[in-house]
Structure 1
Amino acid sequence: MQVTETLNDGLKRTYAITVTAAELEEKVNAKLAEARPEIEMKGFRKGKVPMPLLKKQYGQRLLGETMQEAIDGAMSEHFEQTGDRPAMQPQVKMTNEDWSEGDDVQVEMSYEKLPDVPEIDASAITLEKLVVKADESAVDEALAQLAENAQDFNDRAEDAAAVDGDQIVIDFLGKVDGEAFEGGAAEDYPLVLGSGSFIPGFEEQLLGLKAGDEKAVEVTFPEEYGAEHLAGKAAVFDVTVKAVKEPVAAAIDDELAKKFGAEDLDALKGQIRDRLEAEYTGAARQVMKRALLDALDGLVSFDLPPALVEAEAKQIAHQLWHEENPDVHDHNHDTIEPSEEHQKLAERRVRLGLLLADIGQKAEVEVTDQEMTQAVMAQARQYPGQERAFFDFVRQNTQMQQQLRAPIFEDKVIDHIVAGAVVTEKEITKDELQAAVEALDEE
């Protein structure tokens, strides 16, 4: 077997691999000899079938297997000897397309190798860790929001008209083409006006009504409505208003605290303070992470595999196009060509991705089974009632496993680098932190 380099240009490599006919025949004969003792054939005792007959019967199939094994073996040996790591799956093709049995097999293997990533000195990196304390005003604001969420509704005066935010209690009967439809009727239904829980246009027509009023509400079901037999159809709802109630925020006291599982108001305030500071810490981490990535991006420079950059640029362009065109949910659209800005962002992502992967590998950073289980459980909560099916899907899908593992690995590598960097703390206000987070989206 011969492996000859034919291209060495930057990170691009091409090799010509030749597997001789003699090698193939030797390997096929070895396979037949190994299997012969167990082979039975009419007219011959077990293990006594002549080799020429075995070769005639099984030779073609074994030849194909042997060719593939030989090529795979040559590739594995090549990567082991050179230390090259292909950025993407190598491209392999036969170059003697007129090959026939008895000829040498000639194959061309092309790939882009991963670059050698330079070492970095984490101690040369200076970072600022933002610290925000949850002050009383922030806690009071959160308490007021909880009280609003736990609000009750009290009856308005008998002749009071319903306004946005009021709860009205109604009976209704919906009809399409004069016929009532399943699920289109209810009695004593409490509806908060402005909640958007009914068909668009329904709640707005109830504004200004009073207890005892009746109204025929005319609406059209959305084209994308879940029930196909109603989608896009015009409907009339006969509505009777039975009560109009105004919202009343719950009192901020021990009773409110107990509604949210706390022993008393002081305990609830403590929980809120802990939650707020955890949120601040998470936001501050994102700011420091961006600063670290910016610092790393300025510290290193090395060749990037063009195929990786191209694939990343296309993905960025495609994703941003869908964000700008949220009504398009499929991929039946023209090809999105990456811009120069997409290309630069792709280069940054690929460079930082390779750098973090290299640092993590050298530092022996690993994602534990427990961390993976927690990540899967967090994702599974998005599919209530289908958690088991989601677990099975992840277990059988290596690509999904990698998608869950990658951000965990990256965060652990970030922590590893931060541990070696020079970090100073700076206490700021909640508003200053919010401004710093918003600035991340603008960059």
Structure 2
Amino acid sequence: MGNLYPDEKGATTVKNCREVDKEVRKVLIENNIKGKTTTNNHIYLPVSRGGQGMKFIEVEAEIHMVKKGVYIRSHPEMQEAHESYIQLQGSGWRNPLSDHDFVSTKYGCPDVEYTQTKITKNCKTMKKHIEKPFYEQLEKEWIMNMHYGRIFVKEQPNIELPAYTSPLMDSWRFSLLHSAAEEQVHGLVAILGRRKNCRRGCSQSETAYHVSSACIQDAYNTRHDYVVHWVLKSLLSGLNAPEDIQLQFGKATLSVDFFGMRRVEIRAGTEILTEKRIHHNTPDTYLHLYDPEEIIILEISVAHLQNYRLQEKIKKVRYSVNGSAHIDHTNVDEACRDLNLMGELRSTYRCPVHLGVFVVGCFGEIVTTEEHKNIRKILIKIGINNLKMRILINRSSYSVAVSTSNIILKHLCVVNSISTVIFCCILSKRTQKNDNLFIMQ
């Protein structure tokens, strides 16, 4: 750019890049990759930081200006060109060296040693120094404007979004999930004074948070079962189950007893009978392993990011602290120790009993909490290696993200379906009065 427009200042070129960024955002909106009300900060943040990972042309141009200056000043074959650029710079003409100095001064980049052996290192240092304040500013604005942004940034760097980097993820789902996370879905109002009750009759405010994680819907069970299904598939694969044991996609119930590397009994979706009856006795997955004997209980949950750790606590209290009473978010902090499934299994089988809790965010988030680390240790110990664990996490994240987008779309279609029915009823009454109108319609 400096060679093409030597008569304009570097600041003017940067400004022109900023205008191109505006045009790019318009294209994103036209192609449903960005919602009209979705924040711009969200677009340019990397996927690992909760954004869409779009490159900001203005910043990328500045990075390339600095890299070109580093190369010219460092490479021996560029010495002749370097001297010519110095003469141009002294005469007030714009050139790659003046662009380098302009950007370095703007961001306060550190002084580096311009040698051939350090070209790559210096370019990385300069790039990092330019990107860091840019991303920090984006996050700061995101936190100020969006509640979801505050929660996401608080969980960093222990949070990831495998679903968003999946090659199977559609761009329109990607945009819808980001809009829902920021409460910017058209038709789901989260503005004070303009809220309305949920159209499904659950008397709660109809927001994206409510629809994606708190409404009374059967679709939540299906979403949950997808994660259980992938956990069961990983267990069968990691424990060398016979090939004749097949698990239909989406199925979350299983009852098998087989010999792989060791004898294994797996039961999913069924009650675990104990000597004393307890309320919470139906874990998502129950494993009984022999030689040596041990029992593993795996609990799966899908929750909004703001309830992620709360859901882990609820599951842990239900099966390891108090299984007699019904435990939920209203009384989990007040639960006292009582009969629980883990204690009953220990007293019955006289062997170690482990509990693993696997929670997936409703938009596909995976947070590396202590419970997440614990279930990784449990699964790796029984034969699920790191590669299979990564596949399990990626598949679970993607399935949940897709299911959530389907739930939101299905919820929004309720009003459209009702409106269509009402319109057809009115139309039929009018057609009974006028045959000609009926023919036209």
How high is the TM-score relative to the length of structure 2? 0.19
Q: Larger helix proportion, structure 1 or 2?
A: 2
Larger Rg: 1
Point out which structure has higher relative CO (alpha carbons under 8 A, 6+ apart).
Answer: 1
How high is the TM-score relative to the length of structure 1? 0.19
